Amino acid sequence: VQQAGHARSLLKGNPKGCIRLPVRPNGWVTADATRSGGPKYLVRASVPRWRVVYAPPEPGGKGSKYSQEGTVIVRADEELNSEQVMVLHRGDVVEQAAPSIVTPQGIVRMPVTTTVVRRTAVESGEVPDPSANGQNRATVSGKTYGWVTADASAAGGPVFFKPVAEADRDKYNQQRRRRPKA
């Protein structure tokens, strides 16, 4: 359920004190009825966070220009050919800003905002902060709004993003499988 407007508290009758929310795509839900003796139906969820999981081919191979410029392009709007706003690299984390859309070709496009964790650009001469999550990553404070392709597999392309928890779980499981047996 995604909230579509301001919460309202009912002021009269038996449901007095119940908190109602408008939701997308349309309708209303009771979020909290505890003030009138009922249950709490909804709890606040955090903003969905997504990690870039796509790694382009090695330099010199097909797609090598993306290896140098970034792996995921953030565009100004949902159109695949709209203006480029910025690029993201494998491991970067963004927040989903609104519901995803699916193009007629099956490509999943997602509006994002705020690069939460950003790869530190060693190539540009920046010195990585040793306390930046221990992996040459640093927090970025600026907000950028744009659209990314989350999954192009239906059109024969790659998966670019996974939810942070899923991406981290996949990475952890890969590391566990690589350990040599004693």
What per-residue confidence (pLDDT) applies to 44? 81
What per-residue confidence (pLDDT) applies to 179? 53
What ranges make up the beta strands (E) of 48-140? 49-52, 72-75, 84-88, 93-96, 101-102, 108-119, 137-139
What per-residue confidence (pLDDT) applies to 152? 96
Q: Which residues of 14-48 are buried (b: 16+ CB within 10 A; e: fewer)?
A: ebeebbbbebeeeeeebbbbeeeeeeeeeeeeeee
What per-residue confidence (pLDDT) applies to 66? 44
What per-residue confidence (pLDDT) applies to 26? 86
What per-residue confidence (pLDDT) applies to 116? 59
What per-residue confidence (pLDDT) applies to 129? 41
What per-residue confidence (pLDDT) applies to 128? 43
The CA–CA distances, whole Å, from 147 to 44, 56, 78, 111, 180 equal 25, 19, 6, 4, 41
What per-residue confidence (pLDDT) applies to 14? 84
The ranges of the chain with pLDDT < 50 are 63-68, 121-137, 139, 141
Question: How far is Cα 156 from Cα 93, in angstroms, rounded to an integer?
Answer: 24
What per-residue confidence (pLDDT) applies to 111? 94
What per-residue confidence (pLDDT) applies to 123? 38
Peptide bond into 25 cis (omega under 30): yes
